[in-house]
Amino acid sequence: MRGNDWTAKYLIITASAFMLQACAVTGISPEGANVRVISETQASDCVFVDNVATSNSNTLIEDPQQDARNKAFNRVAVLGGNSLRIVSTNSQIAPSGLGSIFTLSGEVYRCN
């Protein structure tokens, strides 16, 4: 019986940890932290690298907009850019009716 008690406690702790992580905002990498948002005018003085599109990881996340922005900044850095021009954003209620989905589309640039 003691083995079953330990197993049940382990499962509850593990499930709780996964649920808490699911509600956490995606972290920003050290390189992503150096990415800046630029305007269309500023982009004209930079080199275009690629397009990027992101959305939040979980509809119940605390700050879906920040989650999508952090993902975008991290992606810009991975692509070798240092600037992001946000082209569009959209926020809507999740199909389940619980939480929201935030999407961000933008252009990656390398600027001096």
Under the banding of pLDDT at 50, 70 and 90, the label for residue 99 is confident
Which parts of 23-110 fold into alpha helices (H)?
Answer: 40-43, 64-78
CATH code at 84? Answer: 3.30.110.70
Residues 3-14: what's their mean pLDDT? 61
How is residue 15 written in tokens? 């499930």
Least confident of 10-14, 83-87, 94-98: 10-14
CA 80/CA 2 separation, integer angstroms:
54
Domains in the chain, number: 1
CA 74/CA 71 separation, integer angstroms:
5
Q: What is the pLDDT of residue 54?
A: 95
pTM for the model: 0.75
- The domain containing residue 88 runs over which residues? 2-110
How is residue 106 written in tokens? 């933008």
CA 41/CA 64 separation, integer angstroms:
28
